Amino acid sequence: MESLCKLFGVTKQAYYKYDENHLLERIASEEFAVFYIKEIRRKDPGIGGSKLWYMYRKTFEGGHPLGRDRFADIVEDFALRVPPFHSRGTVRLTLMVPSISERWYWYQASEMSAVKRCSITDVA
């Protein structure tokens, strides 16, 4: 055994400490978390990662659920993040206001501060 450990560059302690069951348990819990995330996202595609983790933790609190950071890493590694919301751009507000001569003109909202508000009695 000692010669094999030297061949692979592993100490005897590391060889005997390695637990295949622990590794399989970790892989199974990751796969289950991915399945759980996909199942919830199928029902509600807009749920974010933190809310998913709270739901996961509440559902499986009796066993050994994944921690917050590991759950976030799984969401990131398997590309399960919700795409960020981007607005379609700015909305330009345009107002139609009457001038003194009762004709209607279009003004941008930024120009409204420059337009004097006067009434017909001011023009006499």
Evaluated on CA atoms 24, 45, 67, 78, the torsion sign reads: positive
> What pLDDT does residue 115 have?
46
- Categorise residue 79: left if φ over 0, alpha if ψ from -120 to 50, beta otherwise: left
For residue 36, name the pLDDT band (cuts at 50, 70, 90).
very high
Percent of the chain with pLDDT over 70: 69
Residues 104, 98 contacting (CB under 8 angstroms): yes
Report pLDDT digits (tens) over 80-115. 888 877 766 666 665 555 555 555 555 555 555 444
